[in-house]
Structure 1
C-alpha cells in the first residue's frame, strides 16, 4: 500500500495545508441531443475535504459524475465542455482507467463486486500481485503465479483501516449488504494513488446502525487526506458529515456554501425552489373527508422492492383526480405503483371501489381496471424488436383476449383489428412514426413512452398508474406526454396516479401531491404549496419545527 496520500507536507490533522484545490471542475457543460443537462458547473474540493453534492433526480448529478469518471456514455455522445483539473493540472479523463490513474475512485450505489470471488480477490481485482516461479523464469512473465500471501496482506491492511475484522478470504456471496459496502471502499483505498473518492448514495441500502458506522469510516478517510465527494438524498447526513455543499438544480449550481452555514430547511428549499410553468394554480385544494368518493384505498402497504421499499403506507385516491406521488430517490415512491400491480412482494390491504384488490397477482390488478406504465420502458415496458402495433396490442391480447378470432375452434390474432386499433392510437396520441409496423426500438424516447401509454389504454382501465413518465426524454416530448395524461383525465374521466422524481412536473398537472419518505406517506400538499413545504416534506422534516 503506497503512502502518497499521507504526505505530511500536504496533510496535517486530516485537512489540507495547501491553498490549491485537489479537484476543480470548471464551467462543465453537457448536451444530449440538443438538451443541455449541465450548464457551466463549477466545483472545487480540497484534499481531506468532505464535499456534499445534492439535488433532485434529474438535476445533473449523475451526468457530472460520469464526466468526472470518464464514462464512455459521455464521449460517445459528443464529449463535454469545460475542464477537470487535478492538483491544478488539466486532466479531462476519457475513460474510467484514466480517472483511476489520476487517483479518482468511485463507490457506486449498485455494488460492483463479483459474488463468486473472495473478499481479497474482489479487492485486488485487475491489480493482482504475482510472483516468479520456475516456469516463469523459463517461459516468461505470463507464467507467473498469484502471490496470494501478499494479496491477502494488502486486503487485510485495507480492511483494518475500516475497522473490519472479517476474514479476507471469505466469499462475497451471502455477505450482508453493509459488508459489501465496506469491501467496495476497501478496494478503493487499497489503490496506490487514491486522492478523491466519490460516494453515490452510499447509505441508501444500509440499516441505520450500518449507516452510522459508515459515516465514521468516511471521516476516517478524510483524516487520511482523501477528498470525499458525497452524493446523497439524505440531507441530515449531508449536514452531519460534510465540510462544504454544492446544490445542483436543473443542471446548474444554485449554491456553494459551507456546511456550518446550512441546515436541512435551507438545502431543501434550494433543491426544489424554481420557477415553473404551472397550469394548476387556479385549482382549489380540498382536504380529505370521510365520505369522499375514493376509487382506491391503500392501507398499511408494504412492498419489498429493492431500493424503493414501502413500509406501511396509507393513501386514499379520489375518483377522477390526478394524484402525484413524489419524494427523493430511494424513499419508496417507485415502490407504490409496483406494489399495487403486484410486481414485487406486497402485503397490506388495497381496496378498489370498496372491494379488496388481490395482492401479488398482476393479472388480477389488470382485470380490475388498473393499468400500469412502468418506469423502465426499455427494459420492461416495450418489446423493442417488435412492431408498434404488436406492442400496443400485446397486453390486451393476453389479459382481455381482445383482437382474437376463432378459426375452427382455435383462437387466432385478428391482424386487421390490431392494425386498425394501432392506427387509431397513433393518430390519437400523435405517435411520430413511419407506420404501425415500425420497430419500437427506432422511435424517440417520447414516442416510445406514448406506445407504453397506448398499450395501457388498450386495456380500457379506469385507473392508470404512470411511473417516471418523462425519464430520459427531451423537454418538448415531456410536455406532450404530460399534456396527454391531462387529456386522459379530463376527457375520459380516468384517474391518473403519476409517480415522478421531478417535482416541477408533478406540480404542473396534479390535483394533489403525496410525498413519500422512508417508505411511508409523509403528507399531501397542494401543487401550489411553497417550495419550503415541499423541501421539508421530502427531507422528512415537515412539521418537526412546530413539534419542537
Structure 2
C-alpha cells in the first residue's frame, strides 16, 4: 500500500564496501516528488556507487550487496536488477553510453518496447511474428524528444552522432517510459557544450514541473545551483553537507567537497616563446569524423608550448587530434620536426614520439579488464620496448619496473585505488581519466595531444590534472596541445589558445585575453 504522504524516495543508513574498501558509510537521503537533488563530491566519493545501489545494478550484488534500506513511496524495496528499478519507475542515464551504434535514435529510444502490428503470418502463427510498427516508433520517439525539449533527429544512426546527441538520446529513452517517477543523471553534461548543457538544464526543470524527480550528479557546480532544490555533498563515502541550493554558493560547495579551499586558478604563468621553433605545422587538414567539422585547418605549434584548442561542439576541435593521430580518415599535410607525418597511420605517429589521450577513455583509452600496471605500461612496452628484459633470444616483462612506474603515477596523480594490481574498470570515471594520462606520460613523448582532460572530473582533481600537464611540459620540455570544451580550463594551463569555428582556425590569442575575446572568435564564421 503506497503512503501518499511519504517521500518518493528514502535511502536509510546505506553502507557498502568494495574489494575491502569501505566506499559508503551511513548514507541518508530523502527526495520528494518533482524535486531535483544535486549530488556532488570528488571522484571516488561514492556518488556513482550509491546510484548503482538504488538502480539495482549487477555489480552491487556481485560484490556482496549493501546494508541499509531503500523506501519508495513509503514501501521498502530491494531491486535485484535494473529491470526491477525500471518497473518501479526509476530511470538512469550513465556516464558511459549504452546505445546500439548501428540503430537510429528512435530505435534506441524504444529498444525492447517497440510497438508492433499484426501481419498475415502473425495472424496464423501468433503475435511473436508481428511486424515492428516504425511509424508509431517514430512518433513515440519524437514525443519523448519533445518532452526533453532538445531537438535531436530520431532518424540519425547513433554511430554518426556527436557525443552530445548520444547523451540526449539516452535521456529521451528514459523519458519515453510512461511509469518514470525518478530519473538519475550521472554526469550528463560532461560531454555537452555550454549551449547543450543549458538545454539539458531547461529539460530538467521541465521534468520537475511534470512531477518527475531528478537526482543530478555533476561537477559543474553552477549547474547544480541553477537547477536543484537541494544539494547533497559527499566526501570519502559520507554525506558531509545537505542544504537547500539557494543557501549555498560554488566556493562553499567546493570547500565541503574537498575539505579544503580550492583557489580557482586564474590564467597560469603565460609564456611567450618568440624564439621557439615550430615543432608541428598543419596545413589544409580535413578530417572525416562524425559530429565534427574539420575542413581546412592551418596551424603552427611552437616547440615547448602548451597550446589550447577550444570552440563550440561540432566545430572541429576534437577532430584535429583524432585526424592527425589516424583514428579517423584525414587529408592535408602535417609536418613534425620538419618531416611529414603520414596521415591515417596511428603507428607512424606513435613511432615519431607523438602521444594522444583521447576524449573517449573507455573506447580508446583503457584496457578495462586489465590491471593499472598493464594499462600504464602496455603502450610503452608495445611501441618502445620499454619495461622489458632481454636475455639472448628471450624477452620477458620487467615486473619491478612496471610496478615502479605505476606506483609513481598513482602517487603523482593521486589515483584513488587499492593498488597497482586493481583492474581499471573498478575505478571511478575521474580516476580512469588519470590512468589514461599516466599511460601517455609513461611513453615520455616529445609531443602530447590531450583531449577533454578533465571531462567528468571534480574540482580538486581538475586542478591536479592541469598541474600535472604543466609539470610534464616544464620538466621534460614536452609540447602539449590541450583540447577542451571549457575555456576557463584552457586559460588556466595554456600559453596560447586557438579557437576553431566552422572547421577552421578562427584565431589564436594569448591565454590572458578576456573570455569575451575568445567568445567572439567562437561565434565568428570564418570564411
TM-score range, shorter chain: 0.5 to 0.7
Which residue number corresponds to residue 102 of structure 1? 88
Asked whether the 8 Å contact 2:208–2:214 carries over to 1, the reply is yes
Question: Structure 1 residue 186 and structure 2 residue 172: aligned?
Answer: yes
Question: Structure 1 residue 203 and structure 2 residue 176: aligned?
Answer: no
CA distance in 2, matches of 1:379, 1:166: 26
Which residue number corresponds to residue 108 of structure 2? 122
In structure 1, stretches of 5+ residues that fail to align are 1-6, 11-17, 277-284, 404-413, 432-445, 454-465, 526-542
Q: Measured at CA, do residues 475 and 508 of structure 1 come closer, stay the same or move farther in structure 2, by a change above 3 Å? A: farther
Which residue number corresponds to residue 426 of structure 1? 399
What is the deviation of 1:42? 2.4
Aligned to 1:79, what secondary structure does the other structure show? coil
CA distance in 2, matches of 1:158, 1:212: 18
Normalised TM-score (structure 1)? 0.59
Which residue number corresponds to residue 272 of structure 1? 258
Q: Measured at CA, do residues 524 and 181 of structure 1 come closer, stay the same or move farther in structure 2, by a change above 3 Å? A: closer
CA distance in 2, matches of 1:392, 1:166: 41
Q: Measured at CA, do residues 467 and 41 of structure 1 come closer, stay the same or move farther in structure 2, by a change above 3 Å? A: same
Normalised TM-score (structure 2)? 0.60
Which residue number corresponds to residue 418 of structure 2? 474
Aligned to 2:391, what secondary structure does the other structure show? helix
CA distance in 2, matches of 1:342, 1:167: 29
Which residue number corresponds to residue 79 of structure 1? 65
Question: Structure 1 residue 40 and structure 2 residue 26: aligned?
Answer: yes
Asked whether the 8 Å contact 1:341–1:362 carries over to 2, the reply is yes
Aligned to 1:210, what secondary structure does the other structure show? helix
Asked whether the 8 Å contact 2:40–2:231 carries over to 1, the reply is yes
Deviates more, 1:26-35 or 1:105-114: 105-114
Asked whether the 8 Å contact 2:354–2:446 carries over to 1, the reply is no
Which residue number corresponds to residue 54 of structure 1? 40
Deviation track 1:454-498 (CA, whole Å, cap 9, x = no partner) reads: xxxxxxxxxxxx9996657315879xx99xx9xx99xxx999999
Q: Measured at CA, do residues 312 and 256 of structure 1 come closer, stay the same or move farther in structure 2, by a change above 3 Å? A: farther
What is the deviation of 1:47? 0.7
CA distance in 2, matches of 1:298, 1:263: 44
Q: Measured at CA, do residues 336 and 101 of structure 1 come closer, stay the same or move farther in structure 2, by a change above 3 Å? A: same
Which residue number corresponds to residue 224 of structure 1? 210
Question: Structure 1 residue 31 and structure 2 residue 6: aligned?
Answer: no
Deviates more, 1:356-365 or 1:255-264: 356-365
Which residue number corresponds to residue 407 of structure 1? none
Which residue number corresponds to residue 237 of structure 2? 251
What is the deviation of 1:257? 1.3
Deviates more, 1:50-59 or 1:505-514: 505-514
CA distance in 2, matches of 1:81, 1:307: 44
Deviation track 1:285-321 (CA, whole Å, cap 9, x = no partner) reads: 9997979999x9999xxx9999999x999999989xx
What is the deviation of 1:73? 1.8
Q: Measured at CA, do residues 362 and 26 of structure 1 come closer, stay the same or move farther in structure 2, by a change above 3 Å? A: same
Q: How does 1:398-413 map to 2 (within 5 A)?
A: none
What is the deviation of 1:238? 1.4
Q: How does 1:284-299 map to 2 (within 5 A)?
A: none
CA distance in 2, matches of 1:342, 1:468: 30
Q: Measured at CA, do residues 338 and 137 of structure 1 come closer, stay the same or move farther in structure 2, by a change above 3 Å? A: closer
Q: Measured at CA, do residues 469 and 338 of structure 1 come closer, stay the same or move farther in structure 2, by a change above 3 Å? A: farther
Asked whether the 8 Å contact 1:115–1:171 carries over to 2, the reply is no
What is the deviation of 1:336? 12
Q: How does 1:276-355 map to 2 (within 5 A)?
A: none
Deviates more, 1:53-62 or 1:238-247: 53-62
CA distance in 1, matches of 2:152, 2:337: 53
CA distance in 2, matches of 1:292, 1:223: 59
Question: Structure 1 residue 394 and structure 2 residue 367: aligned?
Answer: no
What is the deviation of 1:343? 7.0
Which residue number corresponds to residue 391 of structure 2? 416
Which residue number corresponds to residue 265 of structure 2? none
CA distance in 2, matches of 1:69, 1:430: 36
What is the deviation of 1:78? 1.8
What is the deviation of 1:94? 1.9
Aligned residues: CA RMSD: 6.2
Asked whether the 8 Å contact 1:343–1:360 carries over to 2, the reply is yes
Q: Measured at CA, do residues 91 and 508 of structure 1 come closer, stay the same or move farther in structure 2, by a change above 3 Å? A: farther
CA distance in 2, matches of 1:314, 1:467: 35
What is the deviation of 1:524? 5.4
CA distance in 2, matches of 1:23, 1:516: 40
CA distance in 2, matches of 1:225, 1:131: 32
What is the deviation of 1:143? 3.8
What is the deviation of 1:97? 0.6
Q: Measured at CA, do residues 339 and 140 of structure 1 come closer, stay the same or move farther in structure 2, by a change above 3 Å? A: closer
Which residue number corresponds to residue 74 of structure 2? 88
Aligned to 1:78, what secondary structure does the other structure show? coil
Deviation track 1:113-132 (CA, whole Å, cap 9, x = no partner) reads: 44544554333221233455
Question: Structure 1 residue 263 and structure 2 residue 249: aligned?
Answer: yes
- Which protein shows a greater Rg? 1
Q: Measured at CA, do residues 505 and 30 of structure 1 come closer, stay the same or move farther in structure 2, by a change above 3 Å? A: farther
